[in-house]
């Protein structure tokens, strides 16, 4: 269940991360047939807080508002790596988890969760620039520096800045289905899902424009998902040797050409299953899997469910094809 969402603010909060949470969970999009969340911004340190950008924000809600939230989100803050947090804030987070609520951190918000003991024994992440410090501060946490977000059930942690969007849309997809997550993503003009992780940024702390050498090839691959593709053919498209292309692709996307292509094909299959009545063989052809059996194999491997079950879940029994 994801109906009631509270954002916990502490001093020096980052406005962008706060804005991401408000954009995904706080806007009324009922005119588009989308669910509306009971959304509140909660202050953990007084009614007026100063942001990292210098302006202030105020809210009438105190910590007691957290007691009714299904999801509590903690955005990043400028000094979260090396400051103490009020005991009542940490106790409110622990109490929320004890009653079954979920807690999400964006970027350095993970340090608040760590101080509350919520990362102990759990996989987690934060911005790649701070993962070493997170691991040092909380040695019982299992810090994963290369991912965009980690879902550990009740505790969800995301990497820096825009990765908070990925984590939020992931939660919306879980709670309300892919059609809702996709609709919100379209309104935000962001992809509903990004492959890869933080690896490309860790390897190049001062990155060039994303996909600066393979971007054109990625666009071509997306337009031709129904075609057979080899690394040699893609390298020729990019005017590189196969070895150089494979290395650049990994650097700029965080994954291999095969895995990127497979994920895009599965995503297209999901969209077609959600929005069309095409047969499994037709969808398999359009997505490059060739036949329904191959589509089913890769779909189950990637998503843990069959194409028919997926269509049944998100479109209803009447839309399920006779093809297994």
pLDDT tens-place string over residues 232-286: 999 998 899 999 999 989 888 888 999 999 989 998 998 899 888 999 999 999 9
- In a 10 Å sphere around its CB, with 0-12 CB exposed, 13-18 middle and 19+ buried, how is residue 2 labelled? middle
The stretch 99-122 carries a mean pLDDT of 97
Lowest mean pLDDT among 116-120, 270-274, 288-292: 270-274
Alpha carbon 184 to its chain's center: 13
Q: Is 324 a residue whose pLDDT tops 60?
A: no
What is the pLDDT at residue 305? 81
Tell me: the pLDDT tens digits for 33-76?
999 999 999 999 988 999 999 999 999 999 999 999 999 999 99
Tell me: the pLDDT tens digits for 148-185?
899 999 999 999 888 999 999 999 999 999 889 989 98
What is the pLDDT at residue 52? 92
- Distance between start and end Cα atoms, the chain: 31
pTM for the full model?
0.64
Q: Is 88 a residue whose pLDDT tops 60?
A: yes
The stretch 209-237 carries a mean pLDDT of 84
| Separation CA 293–CA 201 (nearest Å) | 37
Q: In the structure encoding, which two tokens stand for residue 293, read together?
A: 């059996």
Query: What Rg, from alpha-carbon coordinates, does the chain have?
Result: 21
Q: In the structure encoding, which two tokens stand for residue 95, read together?
A: 């109490």
Could you tell me which residue, 18 or 255, shows the higher pLDDT?
Answer: 18
Q: Is 128 a residue whose pLDDT tops 50?
A: yes
Tell me: the pLDDT tens digits for 190-200?
877 765 555 43
């Amino acid at each position: 269940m994801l109906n009631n969402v509270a954002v916990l603010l502490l001093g020096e909060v980052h406005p962008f991360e706060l804005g991401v949470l408000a954009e995904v969970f706080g806007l009324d999009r009922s005119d588009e047939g989308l669910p509306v969340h009971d959304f509140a911004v909660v202050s953990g340190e007084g009614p007026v807080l100063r942001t990292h950008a210098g302006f202030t924000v105020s809210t009438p809600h105190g910590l007691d508002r957290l007691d009714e939230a299904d999801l509590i989100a903690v955005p990043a803050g400028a000094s979260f790596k090396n400051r103490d947090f009020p005991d009542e804030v940490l106790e409110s987070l622990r109490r929320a988890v004890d009653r079954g609520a979920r807690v999400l951190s964006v970027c350095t918000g993970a340090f608040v969760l760590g101080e509350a003991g919520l990362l102990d024994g759990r996989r987690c992440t934060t911005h790649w620039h701070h993962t070493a410090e997170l691991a040092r501060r909380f040695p019982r946490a299992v810090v994963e520096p290369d991912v965009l977000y980690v879902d550990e059930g009740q505790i969800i942690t995301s990497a820096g800045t825009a990765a908070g969007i990925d984590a939020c849309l992931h939660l919306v997809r879980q709670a309300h289905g892919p059609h809702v997550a996709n609709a919100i993503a379209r309104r935000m003009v962001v992809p509903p899902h990004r492959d890869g992780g933080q690896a490309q940024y860790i390897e190049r702390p001062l990155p060039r424009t994303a996909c600066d050498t393979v971007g054109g090839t990625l666009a071509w691959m997306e337009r031709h998902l129904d075609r057979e593709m080899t690394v040699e053919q893609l390298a020729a498209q990019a005017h590189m040797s196969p070895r150089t292309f494979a290395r650049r692709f990994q650097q700029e996307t965080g994954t291999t050409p095969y895995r990127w292509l497979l994920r895009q094909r599965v995503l297209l299959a999901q969209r077609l299953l959600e929005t069309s009545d095409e047969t499994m063989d037709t969808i398999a052809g359009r997505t490059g899997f060739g036949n329904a059996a191959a589509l089913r194999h890769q779909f189950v491997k990637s998503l843990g469910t069959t194409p028919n079950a997926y269509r049944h879940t998100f479109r209803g029994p009447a839309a399920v094809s006779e093809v297994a």
